[in-house]
Amino acid sequence: MATSNIVAFDQNTNGPDKQAAPRGKGSEIMKSDLLEQASETIQDPTILINMVSRRVKQLNMGRTPLVDRLPGQGYADVALREIIEGKIVLDGTKEAEEAKARLGGGADA
């Protein structure tokens, strides 16, 4: 593949006469190292992306992050770190049941 066919994600491809669409608060591109670490916890990429997407939506609506937001990290990075650190888990898993038990909700909550 010719190098001219490779386009960086952060490159402005709208042309010189058009401005890039403004990004919302927390919409920076995910860090690949965080994505790799989170994929060790949630192996199915479709489920992982859906979890991150749902959490980013919650954070954009004003929900409080469960981890500290570091400089340069967008909400997608925060969501990935929450998954890596076990702060959010997929419902129906052993980890989710343990979290429910710790919170006093039991398996039927």
Amino acid (one-letter) located at 66? L
* Tens-place pLDDT, residues 95-106: 777 777 777 765
Residue spans per domain, the chain: 29-109
pLDDT in tens, 59-101: 999 999 999 998 888 999 999 999 999 999 888 777 777 777 7
CB atoms within 10 A of CB 41: 17
Dihedral angle of Cα 70, 73, 79, 80, to the nearest 10 degrees: -100
Please, is 28 exposed, middle or buried when counting C-beta atoms within 10 Å of its C-beta (0-12, 13-18, 19+)? Answer: middle
Q: What is the CATH architecture of 29-109?
A: Alpha-Beta Complex (3.90)
